Amino acid sequence: MSFSDYRTALVTGASSGIGAAVVERLCREGLEVHAVARSAGALDALAKRTGCIAHAIDVTDRAALARLCGEVAFDILINNAGVDRPKKFLEAEDGDIDLLVDVNLRAVLHLCRLVVPGMAARDRGHVINITSIAGNYNFGGNSTYHATKAGVAMLSNQLRIDTFGKRVRVTEVCPGRVATDIFNHVHGDDPSIRERFIDGFELPQASDIADAIAFAIAAPVAVNIGHMEITPTLQVMGGLQTARPQERQP
């Protein structure tokens, strides 16, 4: 199924980074792209640059999403919006947990609930869930984030089962470190953050992720690319560590 089989797309978290790059890529393919994010100013600039249709909506606003999905039959759904508050779970607060569950998991579930049944009825559609290597591998300080991304990973598999027999394709895209502003959004707008996570590294660009998504969408109708893990060549996951026991306090 090529791009010519699809007419409309919905992209969340579209105001910057991977989301904006995906909007640009899909607009170049001639799709009617609806871009969703909280930042109205950034969305307006994106719309002027690409011709996309901007919607200043928070993905946790279920009623607004329902209205949009009731007005447009989406052929492509790209769940990209995400947040993180990197803390060890021993230090997590209830607000941290609620925010990550609401944005990273609950919003994805509800958007799939709103969009996927129509795809199945039309026998045409593609869901792209942008998760993270954090959904498959463990590393320190992001426990709730890991849990939400793992939930979306399992949802991606379940959607294929629930739409079995229909031409609804589901692709989970798991990026590692990518050269975007997400680290400033998470850790604070300080020059040292870019030095810590971006400068001096050879990293994929947001446009590289967008091109990979376009590759999955452009595959023939008989092909479902279910899982794509995209990392820097110089990044690996894993590494065995063993700790010595600490002395118990009296």
Q: Quick one: which H or E segment has residue 102?
A: none
CA count, 13 A, side-chain hemisphere, 25 = 24
CA distance 166 to 155: 17
Nearest to 181 by CA among 28, 12, 24, 21: 21
Catalytic one of 57, 145, 209, 213: 145
CA distance 26 to 210: 9
Residue with tokens 């991977």: 18
Is 137 marked active-site?
Answer: no
Return the sign of the alpha-carbon dihedral for residues 147, 14, 18, 213. positive
For residue 179, the 8-state DSSP code is B
Residue 5, C-beta contacts closer than 8 angstroms, at least 6 positions apart: 75, 124, 221
Residue with tokens 């998760």: 131
Catalytic residue positions?
Answer: 145
